[in-house]
Structure 1
Amino acid sequence: MAFFVDNNFSLVAARLGILPEELEQLQYDQGEEIDDDGRRIRYYLIFGNDNPEDIMDRIDGLQGNTFHFPPDLFSGDEDPSWYEDFLADYRPEEPFEVFSDAAADLWHVLNSTPSEVKERQAFQRMVFLQFISLMEAYLSDRLIKIVMSDSSKLIALIGAVPELRNQTAKLIELAKDPERPAKVAKGYLQRASFHDVSFVDGVYKAVLNAGIFIDNSHEHFLNHLVELRHHCVHRNGRNHEGADIDYKDIDPVHVSEAVNAVVNKVEKAYAHYDLAKFFGGTSP
């Protein structure tokens, strides 16, 4: 059996036409088809029936519940430029509106919570991952929109991230492409792990002079949710010892409150920045 997704996660997501954080929400089986001579014909994903419809509807090329990938997709033989074009052309919409609409849809879905224990736990994991993904998408898109439209914030971002700050470029390269720093920074943010909340907090402090945590207890809870996210994505809701997670910890009310606190704190800082920028004052 071929387990190709984890090592090619962003590539698989882009091939499906969705974002990596959306792929994380989906349940699927993965494999490969081999002919009689032992040659790989293609890879495939078979999606479950209970995946979020708004994500599944955007996957072009599904045959029933199955999506096929060419056999050379992950070997380096296929031209990867389409994926770079996908990222380069991606433009976030208004992040807060997208988050609010998606969160409202999610609460509507919660009205259909199954009653049987195993089904309810699977459903609760799916909803939990969706809440975390909404937060990640918001934090990523909000930051991208800020640094792509404000050179001073782009400089702040680059100064705060060693991987960007320590890059070297020849003067002739910058002269030929003055937009290169912004392109590199955007590409970095699109590939960054926004569930690394401590990293994200530091970046937002550098760019907006405001972190994402309300207080120490909020920070502790979010880091705990990140760990639970890992257990849900990679271990189907079991911890390192193989025991089921405590489902009280991913109660939708508590999770949504923690996520909303992040978004509202960032939006408040962004509104202050945007207002100061509009009136020509000194932004944070």
Structure 2
Amino acid sequence: MTQSSVEVPEPDWGAAETSSDLNSEGETVVDCGTCGAAFDAWVTNSAGDCHVTLNDHPDTRVQADTAFFSPEEDAWSDTDLPENPYSIWDGSYQQTCAFFDTHGEEAGDALINRMVFAQHVVALEAYLADTLLKAAMGDPKVLGRLLEHDLDLRKEKFSLLEIQANPDFVRDRVAAYLRDIRYHNLAKVNIIYKIALGVEVLVDGEAAAPLIAAMRLRHDCVHRNGFDKDGEKLANFTKAYVGATAEAFRKVVQRIDLALSPF
């Protein structure tokens, strides 16, 4: 049996009022890992089960795993920075929690639970990225601290021609560097936040451990569809765990926002 990944139509999350609304269907292409042939197919995604039928071979059995969706790693890289990153995060947090209260399941391997968990992670990453970028682009002192103390920035080398060609070269280069950071790497983000803003993302070992562990699970959600590196399906995402993780993220965001508040 060969395996391959295929595009699956994504449900309309915003319009869903019940779990039965999380259904979608459409065309896709299945590539054969053995012969390299491509087969047109029709896929039905019920947000819990995925069914694939080859158009020209409807009797051929196709085994499909549960579909999983996530934004691209650099989903915010080419967008304008929001005026208030905290309000964007808070809106996502409130809506996601409300949805989870109604539709979350007790089972630790439930698809809905994994998706809500991933959304909380994405919202945290976006907040950390937007907050740091906004501060660096809006405050020369923050920009200066990054240039002076961030080791990766300090070792970069450019020609005088490159610098002369763009009056905003330094600012643009720092922005590009900050956009390229993987904000689920909390250890690295913690260092940069301390350098630039004097604020810690990870306060101490006891509070940091569950956050770092959650980011490891995030990797298995996004890149392995809820399975670990040994092919075992994860059952960590109980309703209690997802709720506790969301609460831990909330404390991080609110502590950072309070520390950076001018009042």
Q: What's the TM-score, normalizing by structure 2? A: 0.68
Is 1:107 the counterpart of 2:66 in the alignment?
A: no
How far the C-alpha of 1:185 sits from its partner, in A, is: 1.6
Partner of 1:270: 260
Q: Note if contact 1:231-1:237 (Cα within 8 Å) is conserved in structure 2.
A: yes
Aligned counterparts of 2:97 and 2:78: Cα–Cα separation in 1: 32
Displacement of 1:163: 3.0
For residue 60 of structure 1, what is the aligned residue in structure 2? none
Q: 158, 162, 174: which one pairs with 2:151? A: 162
Give yes or no for the alignment of 1:176 onto 2:165: yes
Match 2:201 to one of 183, 188, 212 = 212
SS of the residue 2:146 aligns to: helix
Amino acid at match of 2:123: L
Contact 1:113 1:123 in 2 (8 A): yes
- What's the counterpart of residue 196 of structure 1? 185
Residues 44-76 of structure 1: CA deviation (Å, up to 9, x unaligned): 9x794649xxxxxxxxxxxxxxxxxxxxxxxxx
Question: Would you say the 8 A contact 2:129–2:183 is kept in 1?
Answer: yes
Ranges in structure 1 where 5+ consecutive residues have no aligned partner: 6-26, 52-85, 276-284
SS in 2 for 1:174: helix
- Residues 160/242 of structure 1: CA separation in 2 closer, same or farther (3 Å cut): farther
Distance 1:48 1:165 in 2: 48
Question: Aligned-pair distance for 1:155?
Answer: 2.1
- Distance in 1 between the 2:248 and 2:150 partners? 26
Structure 2's unaligned 5+ residue stretches are: 8-23, 49-75
Q: Distance in 1 between matches of 2:6 and 2:153?
A: 29
Q: Secondary structure at the match of 2:227?
A: coil
Provide closer, same or farther for how the CA distance between residues 103 and 209 of structure 1 changes in structure 2, counting only shifts above 3 A: same
| Secondary structure in 2 matching 1:247 | coil
- Provide the secondary structure at the position in 1 that maps to 2:110: helix
Which of the residues 236, 241, 249 maps onto 1:259?
249
1:236 aligns with one of 204, 222, 225: 225
Partner Cα distance (1:209, 1:127) in 2: 31
Q: CA deviation at 1:114?
A: 5.5
Question: Do 1:140 and 1:194's aligned partners in 2 also have CA atoms closer than 8 Å?
Answer: yes
For residue 94 of structure 1, the aligned residue among 70, 84, 88 is: 84
Distance in structure 2 (CA, Å) of the matches to 1:159 and 1:47: 53
Q: Match of 2:127?
A: 138
The percentage of aligned residue pairs carrying the same residue is 24
> How many pairs does the alignment contain?
214
- Give the direction of change, closer, same or farther, for the CA distance of 1:127–1:88 in structure 2 (3 Å limit): closer
Amino acid in structure 1 at the alignment position of 2:118? L
Q: Give the superposed CA RMSD.
A: 3.7
Q: SS state of the match for residue 241, structure 1?
A: coil
SS at match of 1:239: coil
Structure with the greater alpha carbon radius of gyration: 2
Looking at structure 2, the residues matched to 104 and 175 of structure 1 have their Cα atoms a distance apart, in angstroms, of: 47
Of Structure 1 and Structure 2, the greater helix share is in 1
SS of residue matched to 1:251? helix
- The one-letter code sitting in structure 2 at the alignment partner of 1:176 is A
Aligned 8 A contact 2:107 2:237 in 1: no
Instruction: Flag the 1:218–1:47 CA change in 2: closer, same or farther, 3 A.
Output: farther
The verdict on how the C-alpha distance between 1:173 and 1:101 changes in structure 2, with shifts beyond 3 A counting, is same
Is the 1:208–1:269 contact (alpha carbons within 8 Å) kept by the matching residues of 2?
A: no
The 1:114/1:219 distance shift into structure 2, 3 A limit, reads closer
Partner Cα separation in structure 2 for residue 229 and residue 89 of structure 1: 23
Instruction: Kindly provide the amino acid, as one letter, of the partner of residue 129 in structure 1.
Output: A
